[in-house]
Structure formats: C-alpha cells, structure tokens
Amino acid sequence: MAKAGNKCLETAKKQKKDEFYTQLSDIERELRHYEHHFRGKTVLCNCDDPRKSNFFHYFSHKFEDLGLKRLITTCYKNQDRDLFSHNDCEEAIWLEYTGDKNGNRIPDPEEIGIRPLKGDGDFRSEECIELLKQADIVVTNPPFSLFREYVAQLIEYKKKFLIIGNQNAITYKEIFPLIKDNKLWLGYGFKGNAGHFINEHYEDYAVADDHKEGMIRVSGVTWFTNLEIPKRNEELILYRKYNPEDYPKYDNYDAIEVSKTADIPEDYNGVMGVPITFMDKHCPEQFEIVWQASGNTRASAPEAVLSELKYERHKDDRGGCGVVNGKRVYGRIFIRKRKSCKSC
C-alpha cells in the first residue's frame, strides 16, 4: 500500500503535476487544534485555486468564528494549458476577503475582491512575495516538488505556517536542521498516516476498500508547522528496559537501534536511532535531537556531530544510513533523553 502511494508521489515529483487538492474534512480535522492562533490575523493561501480550494472555503466560511482580519489567496496560471486547463484560472489572480458585509455569514461573490496578477501566480514571484509579506500565517498544500523552496521562503520572511508535505521531507538536508533547531515540527497528521487528495489526473492505486473516486491515496503525508500546539508538550510514556540483545549498536555510529518509537528504553541515556515516525511523538522537553542517519548525513552533518556520533564510513551506508549487523536500515533520527524531562 505504502509503495503504491509513494509511486504516485514520485510521479508527481518527476512530472511536476502537483495539483493535489485537500479534502475539507482533513483541513477541519487538523485546524481545530490551531483556532486560537488566527484571531486578528491575516491568512494567506498562496497555492490555491479558490474555485477548488477547500482552504479558501474553510477560512472564508469560518472567518467570523476564527476572528480573522483578512484572507488572501492566489491562483496559479498553469503554462501547460493541455494538462490542467479546466482546473486552472484563465489568468493568475489573487482574492481578498475581509468578512461578511450583509449579515448572512456567508462569503458572497460581491464580498470577495478579485484582482489580476501580472505574472503566473508563482509563489516565488515578486508580486506574490509582496502578498506574503502582508500575511501573518500561511496555510496551504504546496507543490510536493517545490517543498524545499517553499519552506525556505517561509523561513526567510519569518512567517508562521501550517502546510502539508511528505513525511520523508523530515530527512531533507534543507528541512532537518529546522526540525533540530526547533523551528519546525509536525502537526497532528492524517488518519492512518495517509491522505486522499482530489486529483483527476492520476490512477488511484488504492485497494478496493480504500478507493475513493476522483481521489488519489498518498502514503506518508503529514502537516508541518511552527505554530505551538499542546501535543508538543506531551511526553512519551517509556516502559521498556535496555539490554544489548534487543537494542544492537550500529556498525557505523556510536548509538543503539530502536526500531519502534514505542520501544524506546526508559533507562538508556546514550544516543538512540529511532524511525522518522518518532517525530510525530516528539516532545522537545523530553528528547534532544542529535542528528539523523540518512543518505545525505555524510554530506550535511557538521564534523563535530559526526565526531560525537563516532561515525565510520561503511560500504553499505549509502551516504550515512545506519547499518546494523551489516544490514542498512531505513532513515533514522538520532535522539538522546534530556536529564530534565519529567519521565526520565
């Protein structure tokens, strides 16, 4: 199942067909945890066709409930008209909504300001950056193929954000340092760690009982944010005891392998390698993130970190992946318990 979803994701990366529209139910499920952040704020959805975007629908219909100041959304004009012309705007536009004016608490067409953009609506263009500067919080589902650039821009302009991305982005050399430095973390996520996105241009590889007409199932998607949420303060309850047989050392790092987050030992104070899914449960007061073990570790990790981890190049580590008893394991996050944590 996961391979099928990832196959679709890889297709999106290669062909740049990144039109994955998010379901309203998924938006509502995640954003209910952040509602207090939006009062008096300007929200920007800068990767959204407002005619299809459920982000625009959500914020415009909950404008008064959230206490928003302003809602801005931009629409990208696809230059390849043969691919998605019926889904893209005839021209790039940006919309502005400042709330209900006639008392019906519904965003009517005459209450929404529609203005043309000079360019194609690319979030990297000067005019779209000017709109970004006006925003307090950015909420959207950006193109998977441009995720690195998109996050870099948000960080450069010091914006608060809540965006959707692939879980594997955790290990990107451009993204991981932000996670390590507590500048970005995971939200509450999707049911079953997979999302169904509205997209008519891909075959749905999901099995029959997981198939949804007109949608594509993508595994390993999650929400990335820098907005504070309660789950970040919830420490994991640890109950396992350390023993060398159950927790072997890596061949190429001075750390032990913990194959499941639930199996983190309560009595081990050294460095541990855990699956990247650990980040969904990470409490920064409980664990320190030391670094990661992935295909780009050797090229991206500071020498001091490699020295601390006593990294030794292994013929099978493919750039820095962890190796246990001669076998390479999937990407890992190196963590260490903090002495000040409540459960330690």
CATH number at 185 reads 3.40.50
pLDDT beyond 70 at 13: no
Give the model's confidence band at 5: pLDDT under 50 very low, under 70 low, under 90 confident, else very high: low
Same-domain status, 166 and 247: no
Query: Is residue 69 a contact partner of residue 41, using CB atoms and an 8 Å limit?
Result: yes
Mean pLDDT for 119-130 is 95
Evaluated on CA atoms 169, 171, 234, 227, the torsion sign reads: negative
Give the model's confidence band at 177: pLDDT under 50 very low, under 70 low, under 90 confident, else very high: very high
Separation of alpha carbons 37 and 227, rounded Å: 8
What pLDDT does 49 receive? Answer: 78
What pLDDT does 9 receive? Answer: 52
Instruction: Look at residue 161 and tell me if it is in a domain.
Output: yes
Amino acid at 90: E
Give the model's confidence band at 206: pLDDT under 50 very low, under 70 low, under 90 confident, else very high: low
Helices vs strands, H then E, count in the chain: 10, 17
Q: Which one has a higher pLDDT value, 86 or 113?
A: 113
For the chain, what is the domain count?
2
What pLDDT does 196 receive? Answer: 79
Separation of alpha carbons 245 and 249, rounded Å: 9
Instruction: Name residue, tokens 């999901």.
Output: 206
68: Cβ contacts below 8 Å, ≥ 6 apart: 38, 39, 40, 41, 42, 43, 59, 62, 99
Give the model's confidence band at 183: pLDDT under 50 very low, under 70 low, under 90 confident, else very high: very high
152: Cβ contacts below 8 Å, ≥ 6 apart: 174
pLDDT beyond 90 at 231: yes
What pLDDT does 243 receive? Answer: 97
What pLDDT does 17 receive? Answer: 52
Give the model's confidence band at 18: pLDDT under 50 very low, under 70 low, under 90 confident, else very high: low
What pLDDT does 126 receive? Answer: 97
Same-domain status, 170 and 268: no
Instruction: Look at residue 108 and tell me if it is in a domain.
Output: yes
Question: Which residue among 232, 252, 269 closes a domain?
Answer: 232
CA proximity to 51, closest of 122, 126, 125, 114: 114
Mean pLDDT for 44-53 is 84
Mean pLDDT for 126-151 is 96
Q: Which one has a higher pLDDT value, 28 or 339?
A: 28
Cα angle 31-9-142, degrees, rounded to a multiple of 5: 40
pLDDT beyond 70 at 241: yes
DSSP, res 341: -
Give the model's confidence band at 91: pLDDT under 50 very low, under 70 low, under 90 confident, else very high: confident
Query: Is residue 22 a contact partner of residue 165, using CB atoms and an 8 Å limit?
Result: no
pLDDT beyond 50 at 235: yes
What pLDDT does 52 receive? Answer: 78
What pLDDT does 80 receive? Answer: 42
Two structure tokens written together for 217 = 């199932």
pLDDT beyond 70 at 251: yes
pLDDT beyond 70 at 310: yes
Same-domain status, 115 and 219: yes
Instruction: Look at residue 174 and tell me if it is in a domain.
Output: yes
Give the model's confidence band at 169: pLDDT under 50 very low, under 70 low, under 90 confident, else very high: very high
Same-domain status, 55 and 195: yes
pTM of the entire structure? 0.88
Instruction: Look at residue 344 and tell me if it is in a domain.
Output: no
Same-domain status, 99 and 109: yes
Q: What is the 3-state secondary structure (H, E, C) of 264-304?
A: CECCCCCCEEEEHHHHHCCCCCCEEEEEEECCCHHHHCCHH
What pLDDT does 73 receive? Answer: 94
What pLDDT does 218 receive? Answer: 86
What pLDDT does 152 receive? Answer: 98
pLDDT beyond 50 at 87: no
What pLDDT does 3 receive? Answer: 52
What pLDDT does 331 receive? Answer: 95
Mean pLDDT for 184-192 is 94
Same-domain status, 24 and 104: yes
What pLDDT does 162 receive? Answer: 98
Instruction: Look at residue 37 and tell me if it is in a domain.
Output: yes
Question: Which residue among 232, 267, 285 closes a domain?
Answer: 232
Query: Is residue 202 a contact partner of residue 8, using CB atoms and an 8 Å limit?
Result: yes
Same-domain status, 151 and 264: no
Q: What is the mean pLDDT of the chain?
A: 88
Structural domain boundaries, residue 325: 234-337
Question: Which residue among 232, 257, 279 closes a domain?
Answer: 232
